[in-house]
Amino acid sequence: MRPAGSRSHTAGSRSHTAGSRSHTALETGSPADARSFRCVLVTGGAGFIGCNLVRWILEHRPQTLVINLDALTYAGNPANIADIRDHERHRFVHGDICDEKLVGSLLDEGVDAVINAAAHSHVDRSLMRGDEFVATNVGGVQVILDAIKARPQIRFVQVSTDEIYGSLPPDERCDENWPPAPGNPYAATKAAAELLALSYRNSFGLDVVISRCCNNFGPYHYPEKMIPLFITNLLDGLRVPLYGDGLNYREWIHVEDHCSALVAILESGRSGEAYNISSGTGLTNLELTRRILDLLGKDDSSVEYVKDRPGHDRRYALDSRKIAAELGWQPRHNLKDGLRATCEWFQANEQWWRPIKSGAYRKYYQQQYAERLKSAAI
């Protein structure tokens, strides 16, 4: 891995500015040069980002059918799509993106675009079971690409992450030309999937576009991730486990804004290009924790500092001017209001998250945090 300090990139020092085109067009219509799609295959559509993406398409693209393919592993939850399960333009298929026969058969049902949101995505789990991440996040992408190779009219959007860039120096923002330097197994699999997808474009002429988004939050967020974990712990009267000194820095975007960006990339993104997606709003994990504490009427006594995880990247920050300038996309939600709404959603939907935080999840939680709590630097 290249040390962060050795990178030279003028774009990283530029300020984050909004584009000149209105986001409204992406909600009620499409830019004049945008493509329309009759049938989109969304993989991972019962997961956090996937289920919100399916809803966004059904609400804002009334001409589009959605086939939703999900293996329903631990984070893929049928309850995430219960309200749209019988929607006339939505069809759910229980299956794995690594299943070549299934993927090919679905593409033959008139699919003209694939948005691949299927992935193992939790960094902590990648440190324990890297093989599962490679199998799905890389192997599954290859299966989809091989299927599209025989059907080259299909557009492919690979949903990636800002983590592929690795940890950034202070005050830097990376644009899409920043060299990848993934700092954990999860990020490495996402970087590998990007390279694989672009290699298929170069070798076989496939229509491939890449998205790279910052951290998401919002409804249906699996409670192993920081924001839903902290909210649900506090609602249960439990302390929240904060890694290290809490000064790791992340940008946060509401999942609905991520979904609108993905559709903008699908419809108007240039083939072979990558697009950063960010709100431009970032803060340290400690600052975020205190915002959640304030919203739920708690104080710092509810924080339990735990041993940091291995290879915990210090700072991510994106320059997302490209998607604003080229596609007219801008985020609509701000962190303050979005975080409040997210807390309210978890308060109102206890019947959704409480069953998740039992059984296998409880075993994982103990495995993940028990030893770190013993060596906590409080």
How far apart, in whole angstroms, are the C-alpha atoms of residue 80 and residue 42? 14
User: What is the pTM for the complete model shown?
Assistant: 0.88
Q: Is 194 a catalytic residue?
A: no
Class of domain 15-220+253-281+313-334: alpha beta
Which pLDDT tens digits describe the chain residue by residue (378 residues)? 333 333 433 333 333 333 333 333 344 344 557 899 999 999 999 999 999 999 999 999 999 999 999 999 878 899 999 999 999 999 999 999 999 999 999 999 999 999 999 998 777 787 778 788 898 999 999 999 999 999 999 999 999 999 999 999 999 999 999 999 998 989 999 999 999 999 999 999 999 999 999 999 999 999 989 999 999 999 999 999 999 999 999 999 999 999 999 999 999 999 999 999 999 999 999 999 999 999 999 999 999 999 998 889 999 999 999 999 999 999 999 999 999 999 999 999 999 999 999 866 566 556 665 555 554 432
- Res 1: pLDDT: 35
- Res 375: pLDDT: 43
Catalytic residue among 112, 124, 162, 267: 162
- What's the DSSP call for residue 340? H
Whole-number CA gyration radius for the chain: 20
Catalytic residue among 124, 163, 194, 257: 163
Q: Which two tokens stand for residue 178?
A: 């920043």
- What's the DSSP call for residue 158? E
Q: How many Cβ atoms are within 10 Å of 175's Cβ, its own excluded?
A: 18
User: Would you say 270 and 327 are in contact if contact means Cβ atoms under 8 Å apart?
Assistant: no
Going from N- to C-terminal start, the domains of the chain cover: 15-220+253-281+313-334
The candidate with the shortest Cα–Cα distance to 265, out of 211, 214, 213, is 211
- Res 127: pLDDT: 78
- Res 366: pLDDT: 63
Q: Is 245 a catalytic residue?
A: no
Cβ contacts of 66 within 8 Å, gap of 6 or more = 39, 40, 41, 42, 45, 54, 57, 58, 89, 90, 91
How far apart, in whole angstroms, are the C-alpha atoms of residue 212 and residue 324? 14
- Res 377: pLDDT: 33
- Res 5: pLDDT: 37
User: Would you say 43 and 69 are in contact if contact means Cβ atoms under 8 Å apart?
Assistant: yes
Total number of residues shown for the chain: 378
User: Would you say 316 and 162 are in contact if contact means Cβ atoms under 8 Å apart?
Assistant: yes
Torsion of CA 349, 351, 356, 359, to 10 degrees: 150
Catalytic residue among 186, 220, 222, 316: 186
- Res 28: pLDDT: 35
The candidate with the shortest Cα–Cα distance to 169, out of 320, 311, 1, 7, is 7
Q: Is 175 a catalytic residue?
A: no
